[in-house]
Structure 1
Amino acid sequence: MPDMSSDTTAQRPPADLHTGWTGRVIGYVAVLVLVNVMVDTVLASPTFVLPQLRDAFDTTQFAWLDSSAMLAGAMWAPLLGKTADIYGKRRILVITLIVAGLGGLVSLLAPNIGVFVLGRVLQGAAVAALFLTVAIIRDVCAPKFAMIVTGVVTSGSAAFGIVQPFVLEIATKVFGWQFVFVVSAAFAAVAALFVRLVIPNSRITTPGRVDVAGALVLGGGLAGVLVYISLGQEFGWLSLLPVAALVLGVVALLVWYFVLSRVPEPVIDVRGISAVLGLGLLVVVMGTGAYRSMLALFSLLIDVSPDEGLGYGIAGPAALGLMFGIPSIGIMLGGIVAGAIATRVGPAWPLAAGLTLGTIASLTMFTVGAANLPIAVICSFLLSVTAGSLVTSGFNLASILAPPERQGTVSSMVMVMVAIGSVTMSFVGSAILGATDVVVAGETVNSSLGVHSYIAVAGCAFVLAAVPVTFLLRRMRGHVVTDVPVSQV
């Protein structure tokens, strides 16, 4: 990726970067892992209580309940990434944590689904917190060591995820779904305080302007297309409201691409994305989208007993904890191992390995896992390894292709791809389930056809991602990761 940055306000010599584990680095990592624990409470925890949220707000649009924060994150990420490069990563990270905490309180007190989604939109700022933790690591660590630390920071929060489902399963039965948002708001407040006290201020910034209009138009365009996918299944694909949302979304995306993306400092410089980075982003958008959609499906499968004879369902003792707790080890394993491997062979190979595991897990779920809890747990574990590997490798790929002063902007592109993939696949899955509902004993339920079609689509996404990852492996052949910053190469 060409270096299109302006002159930086500070150039850090390589000697100032950490190249190994010290007490100070461990302190930074501990705080940044805490930040990502908060991100998990925003993005993953609501997945555990989707059936309760669906009943509380009397809606079939589970994708909005689950993915509205991620959708908002796709809008927040490029804006906050650019802002962080200009004004400092620590400052923007603290602001995102405060906004996400306020969003948790709004969702907690929401009287209807409209207010709830508004709270989730505010919580979407947490999506930016994830990529800012990676950008901060690149600020303080040498490139090669940073790949290992990135794996720890992006996946270390999964240690909390091991016990989280077991705790939430008990707590939500006692206190209701609201408990999830109390925890999220509390973590946001604590994380903001520790970031302010422990993380050093950014020494690498770059002059520039923030294209707020471009970010709003781009985000609005994405939202319009996804609203069409969501509402089309309920009101009809050719009904006025869904079609109007689609038209407005497409027009906004066209205006952004042909007009606003050509301004001197666009919120995302699509024309400056190298072929290598573009291939990596394409892999991330399909792979993480498939994983996140499967995560949402698991929550619905847990709510159905195989004894109901629907052809799916994995309800059983401690099913929530087994499906979301034990596989958290897979996220840590995938992220940490991917970071370690990347220092030797580059981040493309861990990306390929993650996709392979995701494909195997999806195929197994499609054949026997949808109605068998032990097999479903194994598949969830494999998919979690996939998630850890894809996210860590995506960030590592972006980080070695971007100069230090543009880490926030380029890392935000990875997060946008994660968000777009996650939201798109969740809405597509929701549309599949909605279109294949059946009535059993007077109650509308998901059909076996719908569930297995859902899994098949996720599996196809993994398979299709193998195409760009093959070209990526060829492009990255012979590439050696060094501790020389990209801007000096």
Structure 2
Amino acid sequence: MPADAHPSTAPVADRGVLAVLAAGGIVTTLVQTAVVPLLPRLPRLTGAAPVDVGWVVTITLLTGAVATPLLGRAGDMYGKRRMLLLALGALAVGSVVCAFASTLAWLLAGRALQGVGAAVVPLAISFLRGVLPPRRTGSAVALMSSTVGIGAALGLPLAALLVEYADWHAMFWAMTVLSTGVLALAWRLLREEPVRSPGRFDLPGAFGLSTGLVLLLLALSKAGEWGWGSRRTLGLSGAALLILTGWTAHQRRAPRPLVDVRLATRPEVLLPHLAALLAGFAFYANSLVTAQLVQAPRVTGYGLGLSVVAAGACLLPSGVIMVLCASLSARMSAARGAKATLALGTVVIAAGYGLRFADSRQLWAVIAGAAVVSVGTALAYSALPMLIMRAVPPEQTAAANGLNVLMRTIGQALCSAVVATVLAQHTRLFTDPPGAAVAAPTLDGYRTAFAAAGAVALLACAAACLIPRPPRPALFPLQETEPDARPEPRLPSQGPPADDVPEAAGPSADARLGPGPADTTA
């Protein structure tokens, strides 16, 4: 906002920034999930082997997992606006490549670029902390967190419509238009916030983290296909463990580490990361199983035989609910604390899977159970970044949030492998009246997946309950604990406030975990 802007225009400008960032989060998640309805047709469309088309999803997971912590750290050092534009630009370029692709190799190249967009949500959350007044940070972060579910709920039915009634390239052209539009608006409306973390980028640390993550996520995502005890799964997992162990030792010695390991291992930071991993597992089972369950043939005794378009539409109520719950979760965190909101959210997720376990034969019961899981997910996902921002210095916000989202990604990859293994073990042949045999998972297989996801949600609740409360005043206060502890941020164009005194900077230097503002302003 310009320095001479009338104060009444500030909320309007804030809403514009929030709308652009939320749109970026929705488009990013939509791009990641929209390709799912296309997978059964890709072998015929690209001439690739059926076993290879799964890489269209896997490659995006891998590049997103690597880009999220790296761009988060780069955002803290070089500016979050720059990294947001870079991530949105990669998303747009990747969409164009996919739109022109006719072979699996080019499609994978485009999908790899699209995966970089996974860094948009944690970067946007960190950006909002720097440019919004403290009283509005909670609701803005809750909305950004809910975009993960909104994009997933919208992506499947919209993509199914395009795949069913148009050329498959039309889906990627639609992604190109959306991502380019968000990129243009972000370029115009976003202004760089001033908090930076000085120093050189840790290239050895970036290489070690990238290599370890790729090997780990590749093993997790393919474990259901290769087998949990196969040489490839065990070999990749062992190599990832060795590399990440060496990377951790390097981070402890590095003067400017990619990830502040000492800070990340403190209970107030480590436990939210653990809860993020478990919540990611619990959330992903809902999206992974719902569409598959309602498309199962009626001969199974539980399947509804819905089309791919109708199956995707079953997730639309969940997306709407996550939007409505964003403001509710922010108010709960302000009144009771983010820790209580996270614990409640994970309990609600477990309750939703209890409903799924009890009845998954009727459409209304499936939609209701999925909606309850979405309510819990909205509460949990909105609380996690608030807990992280409360516990880390402002100049480490993007890197810490990036690591938190990475933990959610690992949880989702683990969930995908576990659910695939469970359903494969419970698959059998069903014979329809004409006598044709149909292979499908049994209802007990789905119930086992629901029980596992519900149990993991309760483990996430236990992790949330163990998070220590911050001392008062909080080390890095947000609205939930100290409404007046932090002055409203000023954009670079506004210059320093006229009455700038040391007391306005918040807690004293002795109370900080990291360097003070004087050491971090670019």
Q: TM-score range by the shorter chain?
A: 0.7 to 0.9
User: Partners of 2:366 and 2:44 in 1: how far apart?
Assistant: 25
Q: What is the deviation of 1:324?
A: 1.8
2:354 is the counterpart of 1:354: no
Contact 1:331 1:386 in 2 (8 A): no
Q: What is the deviation of 1:400?
A: 2.1
Query: Which residue of 36, 56, 60 corresponds with 1:69?
Result: 60
Query: Which residue of 394, 402, 421 corresponds with 2:411?
Result: 421
Q: What is the deviation of 1:187?
A: 1.7
Partner-residue secondary structure (3-state), 2:314: helix
Q: Which amino acid aligns with 1:484?
A: A
User: Partners of 1:85 and 1:316 in 2: how far apart?
Assistant: 45
Deviates more, 1:45-54 or 1:390-399: 45-54
Deviates more, 1:331-340 or 1:428-437: 428-437
Q: What is the deviation of 1:452?
A: 2.5
Paired residue total: 470
Query: Which residue of 28, 31, 34 corresponds with 1:42?
Result: 31
Q: What is the deviation of 1:368?
A: 1.1
Q: Which amino acid aligns with 2:366?
A: A
Contact 1:76 1:128 in 2 (8 A): yes
Contact 1:359 1:463 in 2 (8 A): yes
Paired residue for 1:475?
469
Q: What is the deviation of 1:84?
A: 0.7
Q: Give the alignment of 1:331-346 within 5 angstroms.
A: 331-346=322-337
Q: Give the alignment of 1:140-289 within 5 angstroms.
A: 140-155=131-146, 166-273=157-264, 274-289=266-281
Contact 2:221 2:413 in 1 (8 A): no
Contact 1:69 1:120 in 2 (8 A): yes
Paired residue for 1:12?
none
**Higher relative contact order, structure no. (Cα contacts within 8 Å, ≥ 6 residues apart):** 1
Paired residue for 1:452?
447
Deviates more, 1:384-393 or 1:158-167: 158-167
Paired residue for 2:17?
28
Q: What is the deviation of 1:341?
A: 1.8
Contact 1:221 1:249 in 2 (8 A): yes
User: Partners of 1:93 and 1:63 in 2: how far apart?
Assistant: 28
- Report Cα offsets for 1:150-201 as digits up to 9, x if no partner: 2233336877777665544432211255443322222221111111111112
2:423 is the counterpart of 1:433: yes
Distance 1:412 1:235, change over 3 A: closer
Contact 2:251 2:260 in 1 (8 A): no
Q: Give the alignment of 1:266-415 within 5 angstroms.
A: 266-273=257-264, 274-305=266-297, 307-309=298-300, 311-313=302-304, 315=306, 319-369=310-360, 371-415=361-405
Distance 1:229 1:280, change over 3 A: closer
Distance 1:237 1:326, change over 3 A: closer
Contact 2:300 2:442 in 1 (8 A): no
Contact 1:344 1:481 in 2 (8 A): no
TM-score (norm 1): 0.86
TM-score (norm 2): 0.81
**Unpaired stretches in structure 1, ≥5 consecutive residues:** 1-15
Q: Which amino acid aligns with 2:456?
A: A
User: Partners of 1:103 and 1:287 in 2: how far apart?
Assistant: 29
**Unpaired stretches in structure 2, ≥5 consecutive residues:** 431-435, 475-480, 488-504, 508-522
Indicate the percent of aligned positions where both proteins have the same amino acid: 21
Q: Which amino acid aligns with 1:195?
A: A
User: Partners of 1:459 and 1:318 in 2: how far apart?
Assistant: 27
